[in-house]
Amino acid sequence: MKKEDINKLLEEMTIQEKIGQLTQLSGEFFQTDNQEITGPIYSENKVNEEEVYTLGSVLGVYGVENIYKIQSDYLKKSRMKIPLLFMADVIHGARTIFPIPLGLATSFNPNLVQKTAEIAAKEATAAGLHVTFAPMVDLSRDPRWGRVMEGTGEDTFLNASFAASFVKGFQGNFDNEHLAACVKHFAAYGAVEAGREYNVVDLPENKLRELYLPAYKSAIDAGVALVMTSFNTINGVPATGNKWLLKKILRDEWSFEGVVITDYGALTEQVIWGTAKNSEEAAQKALLATVDIEMMTTAYLQTLKYLVKTDKKMLVLLDEAVRRVLELKNRLGLFEDPYRGALLEREKTQVFTEENKQVAYDAAVESIVLLKNDKGSLPLTKKDKVSFLGPLLDSTDLLGSWSWKGDVTDTESVLSELVEEECSPIDVADKLVIFVGEQSSQTGESKSYTNISLEQETVDLVCRYAGGEQEIILVVFAGRPLDLSAVSDKVDSILYAYFPGTMGARAIVDLLYGKQNPSAKLTMSLPRNVGQIPIYYNQYMTGRPTLTEDEEYVSRYQDCLKTPLYPFGHGLSYSEFEYFDSFVSTKENKVIVDISVKNISSIDGKTTVLIFMRDLVGSTARPLKELKAFEKIEINAGETRQLHFEIDREQLKFYNFSNDYIFEPGKFEVFISRSSEDIIDSKIIEI
């Protein structure tokens, strides 16, 4: 449809029909039971039949038959016949499930992440979906918060890189095999106080802008079509009614012209927060903040008619919001084809295919971190007498808590994948592989925990075998960084598998037996205990840094080391890499880093080199190190690769005390690293 036709459409619509376009309800309001409920059902959501046939979008309905049924009925009975948008949470896979994003991130492989999003979009559009509520790019430094599984970790630069990859993968060129993506949750939901779900977020503006906003901005620069507002407040004002956040930053500073949708019920939650006296004021604040679609509540439906009648400004805002929704529908081609290529045939032939599962396998292999391998207990060999045990050995709960149409009933467990391998009785085995960790139901939305340690019976199980002749290998399933300190020094090797997806079990067995070589590196620090939280690699020097752990009057804990158990960027390989010929220089406004890496082992492998920088003196205290570049390389046994990095001065800017985004010339230390704590070489330069 041409732009002028949208204007014509707008002119023909009644106020009721315009407001309807700004309301999203779930399937049961359209008489279907095949939809996912992802939040409370509000009894006050009463909509009459006339209103239903003005609604603009549907939450959580999936499948060609269901979507055809709703769309065709709607188009028949709706006066304006503006096709419905179908939206849902395809976060890390639709039917073929990839590792949870916190796992995918450890691949340090943006191209792989983009590929997983492409496949997710292909499967989801085959089933009739138009929009996915992803990527979730909320930076978090707090593993008490259950939703860390949905994001890509604690680093701003890395989160921004993956945000763009997810958006490009989901959206592609907006053809019928791609989805409109919705970056969420805007903004800074990962900074909820005390890691407690739906809580306040209080951040100085310079930290909000420097650490938390860049990943959303990166998604917008990558062309993301929608933005979802978050449940939390930002410095006292709920994001959904926060004009400074949505109008000043998102719309005016970042020139975002796409659709803003609230999170589930977040618009009327302003009344519960106590920042709106009633639904009418909540609706008014949201529309003034340029919120377009209200998800799963009906304040717009119930109050905007009156508001636009009494305030012409509100009518202008209403038309602007409806136009953005119509333009999204037009961009998706819905006016020409309300079903957008959804065909039963496609649903049957393009979903859960061997090809898609191969990518899920490759992603799982690159998303499982080898944290420890002290005695070289891994990889296992056919000569080893191995016993496999533990509460999660036979678990098929490998998909994570946002695994859309993933199905645990056709997900293999590790036990079911151990078909050729010899499994020895425990008492004769020389190696024990113990499978432990979380259930996916303990992770994700509304799953904050104050205790992130392994359960006592798991610790007891490990301790029962520790200390003997047998070598112990731990495989951990988790949606968050867990506190492994009760067992980490009692076992010889640790594989951290997160929730590795549809092909996770196969990937784990192949990594255990060396058919695959681990290459993943942590993107979120593993704490020694929950008392250290928030814990992250880009800490600050303080005025009294800890040099040794027994000093008085320095910044440390009396009862715990201040370093994490396993730091950001940590991850081992079966290969052995040597680094040499490192060279750091400056050229015009760039920092140039060169280094050679040789695989001195007999095992082909991949590894990632990380470049951190520290601004030695700034007008505000600067972090000890910040990730500024990374590259993952594949090096066959005996081969050498040269790496070259260029870091532009622009990347060294920060928000100062007055919230100005500035570059301050001076000395910087450049770290060429394996991890945030494992430095290969460093050099101080001036730029």
Tokens representing 581 are 């010929």
- 108-137: which residues touch ligand GLC (CB under 6 A)? 133
Q: Which residues contact 519 (CB under 8 A, 6 or more apart)?
A: 107, 366, 571, 573, 605, 606, 607, 608, 632
Q: How far apart are CA 592 and CA 561, in angstroms?
A: 35
Nearest C-alpha neighbor of 183 from the set 143, 157, 208, 214 = 214
* Nearest distance in Å: CB 299, ligand GLC: 17
Q: Which is nearer to ligand GLC, 136 or 680 (CB)?
A: 136
Q: Compute the radius of gyration of the chain from its Cα atoms.
A: 26
**Bridge-based pairing state of the strands 369-373 and 605-615:** unpaired
Of residues 335-364, which lie at the interface with ligand GLC (CB under 6 A)? none
How open is the CA angle 243-246-249, to the nearest 5 degrees? 105
Contact criterion met (CB below 8 Å) for 502 and 399: yes
In the chain the first and final C-alpha atoms are separated, in Å, by 52
Alpha helices in 127-274 (DSSP H): 156-171, 205-207, 214-221, 243, 269-273
22 three-state secondary structure: coil
Nearer to ligand GLC, 89 or 347 (CB): 89
CA distance 614 to 669: 5
Rule CB under 6 A: which of 170-189 touch ligand GLC?
184
Integer angstrom CA distances of residue 523 from 97, 102, 141, 520, 605: 20, 7, 10, 9, 20
Q: Name the residue among 34, 93, 171 with its Cα closest to residue 352.
A: 93
Map the footprint of ligand GLC across residues 419-448, applying CB under 6 A. 445
Q: Residue 671 class from Cβ within 10 Å (0-12 exposed, 13-18 middle, 19+ buried)?
A: buried
Q: How far is the CB of 184 from ligand GLC (least distance, A)?
A: 6
Nearer to ligand GLC, 39 or 172 (CB): 39
Show the binding pattern over residues 583-622: x = contacts ligand GLC (CB under 6 A), - = does not: ----------------------------------------
**Residue whose CB is less far from ligand GLC, 123 or 263:** 263
The minimum distance between CB 431 and ligand GLC, in angstroms, equals 41
Closest approach, Cβ 145 to ligand GLC, in A, equals 12
Question: Residue 167 CB, nearest distance to ligand GLC (Å)?
Answer: 15
623: left (phi over 0), alpha (psi -120 to 50) or beta: beta
User: Do residues 673 and 569 make contact, with C-beta atoms less than 8 angstroms apart?
Assistant: yes
Tell me the DSSP string of 267-328: TTHHHHHTSSSSHHHHHHHHHHTT--BEES--HHHHHHHHHHHH-HHHHHHHHHHHHHHHHH
Active-site residue (options: 155, 263, 292, 384)? 263
Query: Quick check: is 319 catalytic?
Result: no
**Closest CB 264 distance from ligand GLC, rounded Å:** 4
Residue whose CB is less far from ligand GLC, 30 or 577: 30
Question: Out of 16, 39, 235, 677, which residue is the one contacting ligand GLC (CB under 6 A)?
Answer: 39
Q: Within 247-266, which residues bind ligand GLC (CB under 6 A)?
A: 263-264
Size of the site for ligand GLC (CB under 6 A): 8
Q: For ligand GLC, which is the closer residue by CB, 448 or 519?
A: 448
Instruction: Give whichever of 259 and 495 is closer to ligand GLC, judged by the CB atom.
Output: 259
Please state the closest distance from residue 396 (CB atom) to ligand GLC, in A: 24
Task: For ligand GLC, give the closer residue by CB, 85 or 434.
Answer: 85
Of 59, 55, 56, nearest to 41 (Cα)?
A: 59
**Is 109 or 132 the residue whose CB approaches ligand GLC more closely?**
132
Residue 38 binding ligand GLC, by CB under 6 A: yes
Report in angstroms how near the CB of residue 39 gets to ligand GLC at its nearest.
Answer: 5
Site for ligand GLC in 73-92 (CB under 6 A): 89
d(CA 34, CA 67): 10
Token code pair at residue 77 = 């009975």
Residue 241: CB minimum distance to ligand GLC, A: 17
Catalytic annotation, residues: 263
Q: Which residues bind ligand GLC (CB under 6 A)?
A: 38-39, 89, 133, 184, 263-264, 445
